[in-house]
């Protein structure tokens, strides 16, 4: 049984102009100890997805449909009180800009003790021992516990926040852009740290990021999101090496690669559709160089084309040929917005 | 007027910030944050240089020095053979301002929210007194078409909040180009943009700067971007350039241990490439009180006794490739 | 100028959205109309001691002839109330205008130049903050002579302080924004940056503080007149209250004399604060979009 199973989850926002279908029917599974990266551009719904999963949402958001099974029970149906128990103890979240989530007027030690005494039912002594353990786990000197957050560097803060998230031995950790604001060297160290911690503690992880190079190194599975939907899903290697969906192919073209100095960057023309009134067919239709008439009328479902590799696109045969075409600038210039 | 092959000649540029208010400063002590501590490079017309490094390494301050947005504490800066540090006459400063332009990191903030796009592009023409009423309109249309905002008229009356990040960054680029500059500094020009539009803006900048033979300095923490955009790359650390060379050469065969560590840590969007980074410690010393010797000594995996005593000279190891490391000299 | 037009459009749009602000504006418009039409609305000259034959109409309660009765000197209260709108609005709007202009200028210059200029201007502001407002007005008016314009001047001399401080802090944020640096890079002069780039962005804030100042000024004029330091030639609501107080209208139960001017003062002050209530919406235009 999967640890986390998200089934056709929808998260909508009520706005002044109408209902924004920010997340529109997302499904994925995550086994104990494995990891998935949700990749996409801003506004694709990746952050909203996890906010929906743990139900920490802005007041104008609601979940019209969907199921989220954690450890076999549907947590969307559980009461807020039970959810509060679940968060941090079983599912831990490292939010975006997590570095700012430490309170500047308390020492880091105080904040650790607070969490562990309140949520973990430890006494002060036990909590302190645990705090030191956690600091060692993420590679921080335990003397640093007595410092204030502003005395920490960005990387140290990020490590401390990760340690705090691990405080109660969760089984699932959700990280939202965990390394975006960090320098490359620290970024690399934190990603490695996360990888090792996961193996050591048997943690499952959902990582949200816009950067495919970050997930390439850290996640077993990748789900590419576009305009509120998963358009492609599979093992990391499958998705990045042999993308099936034109959006993934295009996204790959957008990233410079240090090892390929001659690679030309190619942009995807246009911008994602308005999710208050999304088009009826494929949401990538307007920007897709391989769009067909069918795509405008009918929405392609997520289908398994190779073992464990799914794509929501009507291109289901001869994908190699499209993949090669997608590497050429001319292909993407055909798209007229 | 002095002539020179170089557009930019920066020599031992320094910028120190006092870190205590004057009232409490102890006399004789050296409490300065050395944001830029002796940076030198030269650029010919049409050449592009990327300044890379971790946050706080002084790359943005160097950019400000290049645009005369902050006064230097020491060193000299010649622009087209003229000493920029001594410019005082209003007209001369204005003429420099016309020739050196900036592309901002955050396009959402770089345009006055209360100006229409047309008005924002008109401003530089008013300030520098270029063109008649009709000519100005034509100039604005031409520059907008040049940055692929077509048809230009549809954007004239728009306000910044009505446009996307990619479009705004094109307007910012257009504003820099409209006065026909010789030199452009781009500070993290695409870091605020969505990945799928980044490539478009980068390609456009590359194409235009090449076509107009502009001298450019890109400031970025992203080495892969610098490699894509720049002829030369300079790696900065604690206010100094530790290595400078032709981009591809520097990235394929880095010499300075810091450059090596930096390059090995850059994530590669390819799951087959195992990222085995050179592990260096995280303790960046404070740029306020630096120890004698090499600035990288505390984190360097190949540090020697010499490095702790003597500062390495920034010297040439191959044509156009300079490194500040004792190990590289032999 | 386009920026001002847009600001005005933005502000009027905001007024349309916020019910309180609409109420505030309506109250001011109402008083403005009364002040303009006073000669036609008022049945009597407010200074006139009315008599019928040889009989002075002292202390008449409200009836068909005198809507709000008469004073102990036989003057028509309703006419006084109508004419009272004139000094109230004169004082309110002119004081607010000076406050807006002076406060905005000081704030702009202090915030933009910073350093010594800022230090000097802000210390002057601190001094202005140290002076108690109403006593200062009373003393100055006592010194210069009781006239409406002296009251306005006395108020303008102090009330700019709040505006200046708020505008300065706003300027400090705006001047760090990218488009200001862009203006500097393109070679714009300091004055150009201040008036073309920064000023339009803080204009809504000065309008807001201007509208608050209207309320304050009317209230202060009423207080000063009530205490008997007002212009004796001008019948204002404060003067009416003072008149009623010294002739012991309260003990005689002549509510029709002091309640109406009291309500007018309250309404005018309230209107200023109602307009100010929507401040968040003006100051954070992004909130409006959602």
What integer is the mean pLDDT of B48-59?
91
Residue that has been written with the tokens 């929808």 in this structure: A10
Residues B221-236: tens digit of each pLDDT: 899 999 999 999 999 9
CATH code that applies to domain A4-219 = 3.40.50.300
The Cα of C49 is separated from the nearest Cα of chain B by a number of Å equal to: 57
Two tokens at B39? 């940076």
Helix (H) or strand (E) holding A130: helix A124-137
Interface of B with A in 244-303 (CB under 8 A): 247-248, 251-252, 261-273, 275, 277, 279-280, 282, 284
Do B196 and A256 make contact, defined as CB atoms within 8 angstroms? no
How far apart CA A80 and CA A103 sit, in angstroms, is 25
pLDDT of residue B5: 84
The pLDDT of residue C166 is above 70: yes
Q: Which residue of A has its CA nearest to B199?
A: A267
User: Where is pLDDT greater, at A193 or B2?
Assistant: A193
Residue B254 resides in a domain: yes
Two tokens at B44? 């010919």
Q: Are A168 and A148 in contact (CB under 8 A)?
A: no
In terms of Cβ atoms closer than 10 Å to its own Cβ (0-12, 13-18, 19+), residue B9 is buried
pLDDT of residue B279: 74
pLDDT of residue C43: 84
| A183-186, Cβ contacts within 8 angstroms, sequence gap of 24 or more | A183/A154, A183/A155, A183/B54, A183/B55, A183/B221, A184/B54, A184/B221, A184/B223, A184/B262, A184/B265, A184/B266, A184/B267, A185/B54, A185/B261, A185/B262, A185/B265, A185/B277, A185/B280, A185/B282, A186/A153, A186/A154, A186/A155, A186/A158, A186/B282
The pLDDT of residue A39 is above 90: yes
Two tokens at C204? 């809504």
How far apart CA A27 and CA A225 sit, in angstroms, is 11
Measuring CA to CA, how many Å separate B42 from each of A30, A263, B93, B215?
54, 28, 21, 11
Q: Which of A177-186, A295-304, B148-157, C147-156 has the lowest mean pLDDT?
A: A177-186
pLDDT of residue B258: 93
Residue B313 resides in a domain: yes
Do B104 and C181 make contact, defined as CB atoms within 8 angstroms? yes
Which CATH architecture does the domain made up of C2-43+66-289 adopt?
Answer: Orthogonal Bundle (1.10)
- ipTM for the whole complex: 0.85
Q: Are C185 and B69 in contact (CB under 8 A)?
A: yes
Residue B1 resides in a domain: no
How far apart CA A238 and CA C63 sit, in angstroms, is 94
Residues of chain B positioned with their CB less than 8 A from the CB of A186? 282
In terms of Cβ atoms closer than 10 Å to its own Cβ (0-12, 13-18, 19+), residue A260 is middle
Residues of chain C positioned with their CB less than 8 A from the CB of B112? 179, 183, 197, 201
Residues of chain C positioned with their CB less than 8 A from the CB of B179? 186
Whole-number average pLDDT of chain A: 89
The size of the B-C interface in CB pairs under 8 A is: 63
Residues of chain B positioned with their CB less than 8 A from the CB of A258? 223-224, 227, 251, 263, 266, 268
The Cα of C176 is separated from the nearest Cα of chain B by a number of Å equal to: 10
> Which residue, C281, C214, C275, is CA-closest to C26?
C275
Q: For residue C201, give the nearest of B98, B105, B114 by CB distance.
A: B114
Nearest 5°: the CA angle A330, A331, A334 is 85
Per-residue 3-state assignment (H helix, E strand, C coil) for chain C: CHHHHHHHHHHHHHHHHCHHHHHHHHHHHHHHHHHHHHHHHCCCCCCCCCEECCEECCCCCCCCCCCCCECCCCCEHHHHHHHHHHHHHHHHHHHHHHHHHHHHHHHHHHHHHCHHHHHHHHHHHHHHHHCCHHHHHHHHHHHHCCCHHHHHHHHHHHHHHHHHHHHHHHHHHHCCCHHHHHHHHCCCCHHHHHHHHHHHHHHHHHHHHHHHHHHHHHHHHHHHHHCCCCCCCCCCHHHHHHHHHHCCCCCCCCHHHHHHHHHHHHHHHHHHHHHHHCHHHHHCHHHHHC
Do B104 and C3 make contact, defined as CB atoms within 8 angstroms? no
Whole-number average pLDDT of chain C: 84
Residue B160 DSSP code: G
pLDDT of residue C286: 45
Residues C56-114: tens digit of each pLDDT: 777 777 887 777 888 877 788 888 899 989 998 899 899 999 999 999 999 999 999 98
Residues B178-198: tens digit of each pLDDT: 999 999 999 999 988 888 889
Mutate which: A256, A268, A273, vs B, most B CBs within 10 A: A256
Q: Are A41 and A57 in contact (CB under 8 A)?
A: no
Residues of chain B positioned with their CB less than 8 A from the CB of A35? none
Beta strands A172-176 and A91-94 are parallel
Q: For residue A217, give the nearest of B55, B194, B267 by CB distance.
A: B267
Per domain, the residue ranges of chain A are 4-219, 241-333
φ/ψ (deg, to 5) at A28? -160, 165
pLDDT of residue B42: 94
Residue A23 DSSP code: E
Q: Which residues contact C6 (CB under 8 A, 6 or more apart)?
A: B114, C200
The pLDDT of residue C1 is above 60: no
φ/ψ (deg, to 5) at B252? -75, -35
Q: Are B140 and B89 in contact (CB under 8 A)?
A: no
pLDDT of residue B85: 87
pLDDT of residue C208: 82
The Cα of B89 is separated from the nearest Cα of chain A by a number of Å equal to: 41
Q: Are A116 and A131 in contact (CB under 8 A)?
A: yes
Q: For residue B195, give the nearest of A156, A189, A254 by CB distance.
A: A254
Touching B (3+ Cβ pairs <8 A), the chains are A, C
Do C187 and B94 make contact, defined as CB atoms within 8 angstroms? yes
> Which residue, B263, B206, B255, B232, is CA-closest to B41?
B232
Measuring CA to CA, how many Å separate B129 from each of B69, B132, B172, C182, C250?
22, 9, 20, 17, 71
Touching A (3+ Cβ pairs <8 A), the chains are B
pLDDT of residue B245: 96
Residues of chain B positioned with their CB less than 8 A from the CB of A188? 264-265, 267, 275, 277
Q: Which residue of C has its CA nearest to B109?
A: C178
In terms of Cβ atoms closer than 10 Å to its own Cβ (0-12, 13-18, 19+), residue C197 is buried
Two tokens at B138? 């034509």
Q: Which residues contact B232 (CB under 8 A, 6 or more apart)?
A: B43, B47, B48, B49, B50, B244, B245, B246, B247, B320
In terms of Cβ atoms closer than 10 Å to its own Cβ (0-12, 13-18, 19+), residue B89 is exposed
The pLDDT of residue C27 is above 50: yes
What integer is the mean pLDDT of C47-63?
78
Q: Which domain holds residue B164?
A: 6-329
How would residue B26 be classed by pLDDT, with cut points 50, 70 and 90? low
Interface of B with C in 53-72 (CB under 8 A): 67, 69
Q: For residue C3, give the nearest of B101, B114, B175 by CB distance.
A: B114
The pLDDT of residue C285 is above 60: no
How far apart CA C105 and CA B247 sit, in angstroms, is 51
User: Where is pLDDT greater, at B208 or C22?
Assistant: B208
In terms of Cβ atoms closer than 10 Å to its own Cβ (0-12, 13-18, 19+), residue C188 is buried
What integer is the mean pLDDT of C3-11?
61
What integer is the mean pLDDT of C206-224?
87
Q: Which residue of A has its CA nearest to B269?
A: A213
pLDDT of residue C169: 93
The pLDDT of residue C16 is above 70: no
Measured from the Cβ of residue B292, the count of other Cβ atoms closer than 10 Å reads 9
Sheet holding A4-15, edge to edge: A18-30, A4-15, A61-70, A73-74
Residues of chain C positioned with their CB less than 8 A from the CB of B116? 2
Q: Are C234 and C243 in contact (CB under 8 A)?
A: no
| CA of residue B323 relative to chain centroid, distance | 19
User: Where is pLDDT greater, at B22 or A130?
Assistant: A130
What integer is the mean pLDDT of B232-261?
94
How would residue A194 be classed by pLDDT, with cut points 50, 70 and 90? confident
Residues A238-270: tens digit of each pLDDT: 999 999 999 999 999 998 888 888 888 998 988
How far apart CA C197 and CA B115 sit, in angstroms, is 9
**Torsional sign, CA C33, C39, C43, C46:** positive
Residues of chain B positioned with their CB less than 8 A from the CB of C192? 127
Helix (H) or strand (E) holding B121: helix B117-127
Beta strands in B239-320 (DSSP E): 240-246, 314-318
User: Where is pLDDT greater, at C169 or B281?
Assistant: C169
How far apart CA B259 and CA B256 sit, in angstroms, is 5
pLDDT of residue C14: 59
pLDDT of residue B186: 95
Residues of chain C positioned with their CB less than 8 A from the CB of B122? none
| Rounded percentage of chain B residues whose pLDDT exceeds 90 | 59
**CATH number assigned to the domain comprising residue B288:** 3.40.50.300
pLDDT of residue C288: 43
Whole-number average pLDDT of chain B: 88
Residues A217-230: tens digit of each pLDDT: 889 999 999 999 99
Sheet holding B240-246, edge to edge: B100-103, B183-187, B215-219, B48-52, B232-237, B240-246, B321-324, B314-318
What region does C167 belong to: left with phi over 0, alpha with psi -120 to 50, or beta?
alpha
How far apart CA B249 and CA B164 sit, in angstroms, is 36
User: Where is pLDDT greater, at C277 or C258?
Assistant: C258
Does B102 lie at the interface with C, CB-CB under 8 angstroms? yes
pLDDT of residue B329: 60
């Amino acid at each position: 049984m999967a640890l986390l199973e998200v089934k056709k989850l929808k998260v909508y926002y009520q706005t002044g102009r109408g209902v924004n279908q920010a997340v529109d029917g997302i499904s994925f599974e995550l086994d104990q100890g494995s990891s998935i990266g949700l990749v996409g551009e801003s506004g694709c719904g990746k952050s909203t997805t996890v906010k929906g999963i743990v139900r920490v949402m802005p007041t104008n958001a609601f979940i019209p449909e969907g199921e989220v099974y954690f450890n076999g029970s549907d947590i969307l149906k559980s009461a807020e009180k039970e959810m509060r128990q679940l968060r941090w103890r079983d599912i831990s979240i490292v939010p975006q800009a997590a570095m700012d989530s430490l309170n500047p007027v308390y020492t880091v030690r105080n904040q650790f003790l607070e969490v562990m005494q309140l949520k973990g039912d430890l006494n002060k002594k036990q909590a302190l021992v645990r705090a030191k353990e956690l600091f060692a786990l993420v590679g921080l000197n335990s003397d640093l516990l007595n410092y204030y957050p502003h005395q920490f560097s960005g990387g140290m803060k990020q490590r401390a926040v990760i340690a705090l998230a691990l405080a109660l031995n969760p089984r699932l950790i959700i990280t939202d852009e965990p390394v975006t604001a960090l320098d490359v060297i620290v970024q690399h160290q934190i990603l490695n740290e996360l990888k090792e911690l996961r193996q050591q503690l048997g943690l499952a992880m959902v990582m949200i990021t816009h950067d495919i190079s970050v997930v390439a190194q850290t996640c077993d599975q990748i789900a590419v999101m576009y305009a509120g939907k998963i358009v492609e899903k599979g093992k990391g290697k499958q998705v990045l090496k042999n993308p099936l969906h034109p959006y993934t192919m295009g996204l790959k073209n957008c990233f410079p690669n240090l090892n390929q100095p001659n690679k030309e960057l190619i942009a995807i023309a246009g911008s994602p559709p308005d999710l208050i009134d999304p088009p009826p067919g494929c949401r990538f239709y307007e920007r897709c160089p391989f769009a067909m008439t069918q795509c405008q009328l009918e929405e392609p479902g997520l289908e398994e084309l190779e073992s464990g590799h799914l794509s929501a696109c009507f291109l289901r045969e001869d994908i190699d040929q499209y993949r090669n075409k997608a590497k050429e600038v001319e292909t993407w210039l055909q798209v007229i917005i | 007027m002095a002539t020179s092959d170089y557009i930019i000649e920066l020599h031992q540029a320094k910028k120190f910030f006092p870190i205590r208010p004057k009232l409490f400063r102890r006399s004789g002590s050296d409490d300065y944050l050395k944001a830029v501590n002796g940076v030198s490079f030269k650029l010919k017309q049409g050449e592009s240089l990327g300044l890379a490094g971790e946050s706080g390494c002084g790359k943005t301050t160097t950019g400000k020095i290049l645009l005369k947005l902050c006064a230097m504490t020491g060193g000299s800066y010649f622009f087209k053979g003229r000493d920029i540090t001594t410019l005082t006459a209003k007209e001369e400063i204005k003429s420099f301002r016309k020739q050196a332009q900036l592309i901002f990191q955050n396009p959402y903030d770089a345009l006055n929210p209360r100006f229409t796009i047309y008005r924002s592009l008109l401003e530089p023409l008013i300030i520098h007194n270029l063109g008649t009423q009709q000519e100005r309109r034509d100039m604005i249309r031409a520059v907008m078409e040049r940055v692929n905002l077509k048809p230009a008229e549809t954007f004239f009356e728009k306000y910044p909040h009505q446009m996307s990040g990619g479009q705004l960054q094109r307007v910012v680029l257009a504003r820099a180009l409209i006065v026909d500059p010789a030199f452009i500094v781009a500070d993290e020009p695409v870091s605020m943009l969505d990945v799928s539009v980044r490539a478009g803006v980068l390609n456009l900048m590359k194409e235009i700067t090449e076509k107009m033979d502009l001298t450019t300095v890109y400031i970025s923490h992203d080495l892969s971007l610098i490699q894509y955009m720049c002829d030369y790359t300079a790696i900065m650390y604690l206010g100094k350039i530790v290595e400078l060379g032709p981009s591809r050469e520097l990235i394929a065969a880095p010499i300075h241990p810091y450059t090596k560590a930096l390059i090995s840590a850059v994530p590669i969007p390819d799951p087959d490439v195992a990222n085995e980074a050179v592990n260096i410690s995280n303790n960046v010393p404070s740029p306020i009180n630096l120890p004698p010797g090499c600035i990288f000594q505390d984190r360097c995996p190949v540090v020697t006794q010499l490095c702790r005593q003597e500062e390495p000279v920034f010297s040439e190891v191959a044509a156009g490739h300079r490194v500040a490391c004792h190990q590289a000299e032999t | 100028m386009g920026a001002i037009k847009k600001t005005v459009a933005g502000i009027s749009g905001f007024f349309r959205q916020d019910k309180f602000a609409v109420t505030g504006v309506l109250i001011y418009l109402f008083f403005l109309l009364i002040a303009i039409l006073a000669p036609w609305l008022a049945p009597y000259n407010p200074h006139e001691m009315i008599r019928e034959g040889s009989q002075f109409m002292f202390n008449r309660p409200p009836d068909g002839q005198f809507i709000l009765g008469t004073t102990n000197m036989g003057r028509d209260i309703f006419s006084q109330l109508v004419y009272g709108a004139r000094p109230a609005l004169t004082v309110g709007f002119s004081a607010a205008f000076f406050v807006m202009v002076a406060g905005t200028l000081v704030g702009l210059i202090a915030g933009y130049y910073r350093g010594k200029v800022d230090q000097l201007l802000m210390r002057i502001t601190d001094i202005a903050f140290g002076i108690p407002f109403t006593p200062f007005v009373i003393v100055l008016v006592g010194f210069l002579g009781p006239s409406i314009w002296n009251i306005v001047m006395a108020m303008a001399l102090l009330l700019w302080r709040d505006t200046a401080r708020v505008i300065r802090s706003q300027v400090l944020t705006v001047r760090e924004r990218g488009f200001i640096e862009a203006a500097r890079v393109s070679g714009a002069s300091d004055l150009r940056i201040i008036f073309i780039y920064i000023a339009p962005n803080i204009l809504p804030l000065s309008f807001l503080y201007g509208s608050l100042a209207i309320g304050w000024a009317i209230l202060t004029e009423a207080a000063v007149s009530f205490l008997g330091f007002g212009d004796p030639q001008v019948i204002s609501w404060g003067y009416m209250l003072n008149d009623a107080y010294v002739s012991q209208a309260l003990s005689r139960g002549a509510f029709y004399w002091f309640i109406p001017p009291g309500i007018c003062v309250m309404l005018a002050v309230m209107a200023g604060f109602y307009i100010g209530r929507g401040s968040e919406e003006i100051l954070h235009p992004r909130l409006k979009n959602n």
